[in-house]
Structure 1
Amino acid sequence: MRISAQGALTLAAVLDAGTMEAAAEQLHITPSAVSQRIRALEEELGRVLLVRTKPLRPTDAAHAVVRFARQVSLLAHDAAADLGEGADVTSVPLAVNADSLATWFLPAIVRLAASRPVAFDLHRDDQDFTAAMLENGTVMGAVTSRSDAVSGCRVAPLGVLRYVAVAAPVYVERWLPGVTVPEPGGGMMDARMREALDAAPLIDFDRRDELQTRWLVGHDIDPSRPPRHRVPASHEFATAAELGVGWALLPALQAAAGLARGSLVPLGGPPIDVPLYWQQWNLTSPLLDAVAQEIIDEGRRALSPWPSAV
């Protein structure tokens, strides 16, 4: 089976833009020409590639074609650079979890954007779900908690993103008065604090956030009992904790400033460590390899050591 590079690139443009019209504007052709290219590609492959709803959605068969299109674009960029023709700025889509984006990830992107003709298209999701975007061709690389390589990808350990339980002093005064808070990194809390946390509100990032639940279970507290707020943005999540909305687990990198100035206090107990890995397409590309090296170096500098990364 041969896949038309022009058709595949058009399909990727349509999915990125969301509509035939927007893709046509980017490709400098008419919407009719975009539609004809997609239909011709579907006929060549004998598969439906687009669900023609609003917005347009890819079928399962489209994922491999989109991945092929992005690889063609990347290799074309590398070839132009090798030929000394001054490669155009190319888009590099990457997936990253919200807490990495809020703490350690951006400096690597800043350095890369300053030194190479590249524009980054960042996709944010939970670290347990970013790997799926590699599989469906949405991104070329991802920060993920998945240690086993996605098919067609290679993996490198980054380090551990350490989370600590914190709350605002005003929150502790209201919801945990008179209890003995264990030392950070220490053992189990006493019965009075466990009883208080049964009713004390906490903050989850979203419905998929399990960190607060894991911390409660680790202290033998029923996680179904406390009221839960949801704040699905990293900066606002941390701000909500500092304002006393609820207690939460924050990355130690993010909590450090609040703990130093006293706007946050530790709730003690062992931290929760989330190992992070970098995965990227197993493709020989100087540009993608340079992106990977900057991100791996930054991750290993900023994150806590992970045994497999040593």
Structure 2
Amino acid sequence: MSLDPVQLATFQAVVDHGSFDAAARVLHVTPSAVSQRIKALEQVVGQVLVRRTRPCEPTDAGRPLVRLGGQVALLEREALADARGALSGRARVAVVVNADSLEGWFLPVLTDLPDVQFELHTDDEGHTAELLRAGAVMAAVTSERVAVQGCRVTRLGAMRYLAVATPTFHARWFADRTPADAFAAAPVICFNRKDVLQRRFTRATTHRDVDPPTHFVPAAASFVEAIRLGLGWGLVPEGIAGPEIADGRLINLTPDRHLDVPLFWQYWRLESTVLSALTAAVQRIAAVALRQPSRN
């Protein structure tokens, strides 16, 4: 049995807008019609596709259809634009990016595609691919090198992090201690509970698992500001940390050590003009902004 495109579009509207009523308003039909279409689609698939929660969410069985619905909508829009010989409304592209890339190098990518509307999501680089698996986004900056099913993957380079703190913080916690003792005792700042970079760095540096006092600051700019205020030490991208180290505002706690995090670009395996242009822009800017094997 084939999927009914109207039912699929209705399912997509429910997921995108969070309720049957909201989908009905967007589609200009009654909530009853939306409910009937969703039930008919679930009968074809043989699975419950939508959790009737607030907001509505796709079930595990529904996630592949979320991705399919987004792909169909993108290709339809591009085909219509080609047929008319001009853009028929702006394409909308959902992308998930880790916070440090969004703060540092990713935003200039968007200027290469002025006719595209972007919906940006952010998450830890080790978790961004989850939104790609769920079909919620079309592309992701991620640390996962193995392609998500239905996606292509290309290496972008590595983001280098430096362990930094203020001179006052360094004098209090690091000046008269071994690195192992200092990292075990000194307060550390993490982005959120998914952020394992600081733990990875201290394990590699001290060869121990340490459990220091930890602050969670889940915003890139605020994260760096917390370090500037002396609340703790943390790993900061070299592009941000470098000038502050040069000016003496921050100190590199381990000048002979850094942490490189390889980043990859994963995107839907589609013959899409928009995704191809976005991928080209991402690769071009990442080639300059990130560490490449030839200049490590």
2:203 paired residue number: 217
1:165-204 matches, within 5 Å, as: 165-176=163-174, 178-179=175-176, 192-204=178-190
Are the aligned partners of 2:183 and 2:210 in contact in 1 as well (CA < 8 Å)? no
Return 42-51 or 24-33, whichever deviates more: 24-33
Are the aligned partners of 1:242 and 1:258 in contact in 2 as well (CA < 8 Å)? no
Matched, 1:256 2:254: no
- TM-score norm. by structure 2 comes to 0.93
1:278 paired residue number: 265
Superposed CA deviations along residues 39-75 of structure 1, whole A, max 9, x for unmatched, are 2211222221011122212111111111111111111
1:183 paired residue number: none
Superposed CA deviations along residues 145-176 of structure 1, whole A, max 9, x for unmatched, are 11121111111110001110000122123323
Query: What letter is aligned with 2:196?
Result: E
Are the aligned partners of 1:9 and 1:66 in contact in 2 as well (CA < 8 Å)? no
2:230 paired residue number: 244
For 1:157 and 1:306, the matched residues in 2 are separated by 11
For 2:244 and 2:14, the matched residues in 1 are separated by 44
SS at match of 2:145: coil
For 1:69 and 1:284, the matched residues in 2 are separated by 15
Are the aligned partners of 1:4 and 1:41 in contact in 2 as well (CA < 8 Å)? yes
1:298 paired residue number: 285
Superposed CA deviations along residues 229-285 of structure 1, whole A, max 9, x for unmatched, are 111111111111111110000111222332233322111231100001111111111
Q: 1:12 to 1:262 in 2, by over 3 A?
A: farther
Computed over aligned residues only, the root mean square deviation of the Cα atoms, in angstroms, reads 2.0
Superposed CA deviations along residues 107-153 of structure 1, whole A, max 9, x for unmatched, are 001331x2x2x211112111111122222211111111111211111
Name the % identity: 44
Q: 1:46 to 1:225 in 2, by over 3 A?
A: closer
Query: What letter is aligned with 2:165?
Result: A
1:187 paired residue number: none
Superposed CA deviations along residues 166-212 of structure 1, whole A, max 9, x for unmatched, are 00122123323x43xxxxxxxxxxx6343233211011111121111
SS at match of 2:185: coil
Task: Please state how far the C-alpha of 1:99 moved relative to its aligned partner.
Answer: 1.0
Are the aligned partners of 1:158 and 1:306 in contact in 2 as well (CA < 8 Å)? no
Return 256-265 or 126-135, whichever deviates more: 256-265
For 2:36 and 2:248, the matched residues in 1 are separated by 62
Q: 1:256 to 1:54 in 2, by over 3 A?
A: same
Question: Aligned residues, how many?
Answer: 294
2:128 paired residue number: 130
1:91 paired residue number: 92
Return 220-229 or 120-129, whichever deviates more: 220-229
Query: What letter is aligned with 2:130?
Result: A
Q: 1:223 to 1:204 in 2, by over 3 A?
A: farther
Superposed CA deviations along residues 77-106 of structure 1, whole A, max 9, x for unmatched, are 111221115321121111111111111000
For 1:232 and 1:78, the matched residues in 2 are separated by 37
For 1:64 and 1:274, the matched residues in 2 are separated by 29
Are the aligned partners of 2:202 and 2:209 in contact in 1 as well (CA < 8 Å)? yes
SS at match of 1:95: strand
1:154 paired residue number: 152
For 1:192 and 1:216, the matched residues in 2 are separated by 12
What residue ranges of structure 1 are gaps of 5+ in the alignment?
180-190
For 1:281 and 1:82, the matched residues in 2 are separated by 20
Matched, 1:47 2:33: no
SS at match of 2:266: strand
Q: Runs ≥4 in structure 1, deviation > 4 angstroms?
A: none
1:73 paired residue number: 73
Are the aligned partners of 1:203 and 1:245 in contact in 2 as well (CA < 8 Å)? yes
Query: What letter is aligned with 2:274?
Result: L
Q: 1:262 to 1:6 in 2, by over 3 A?
A: farther
1:31 paired residue number: 31
